[in-house]
Amino acid sequence: MNKYEIMMIFKPDLEENVRNKTLEDLKGVLTSNGGVIDNVSEEMGMRELAYEIQDYKKGYYVVIDTHTNTDDIAEFERLSRINANVLRHLTLRRDEK
């Protein structure tokens, strides 16, 4: 398993329960084959975007630190791309030291 850091930007007009449900569903993909969620940072919260994305000027930022395998990351990215509630996501593989 590799260590990954994932940053997601959700639509700013989502209700909290919808955002949480979407996040839980996506986290379930990461843990489905034995992966572990190390940390979920929702402290960033609502922020101004550097540029408009789908006519939104703000977005709700979430950072996930996880240990999981590459197949689960690929499925997570596929589902994030087609999920209408997610504006953008970025996955980084972290080196363990």
- Number of structural domains, the chain? 1
pLDDT in tens, 42-60: 778 899 999 999 999 999 9
What pLDDT, on the 0 to 100 scale, is given for residue 52?
95
pLDDT at 95 over 90: no
What pLDDT, on the 0 to 100 scale, is given for residue 25?
94
- The structure's pTM equals 0.88
On whether residue 23 sits in a domain, the answer given is yes
On whether residue 86 sits in a domain, the answer given is no
Question: For the residues 47-76, what does the mean pLDDT come to?
Answer: 94
- CATH label of the domain that carries residue 57: 3.30.70.60
Q: Comparing C-alpha atoms, which of 96, 95, 75 is closest to residue 33?
A: 75
When mean pLDDT is compared across 15-19, 27-31, 40-44, 52-56, the lowest value belongs to 40-44
Per the CB < 8 A criterion, the answer to whether 60 and 45 are in contact is: yes
On whether residue 96 sits in a domain, the answer given is no
On whether residue 73 sits in a domain, the answer given is no
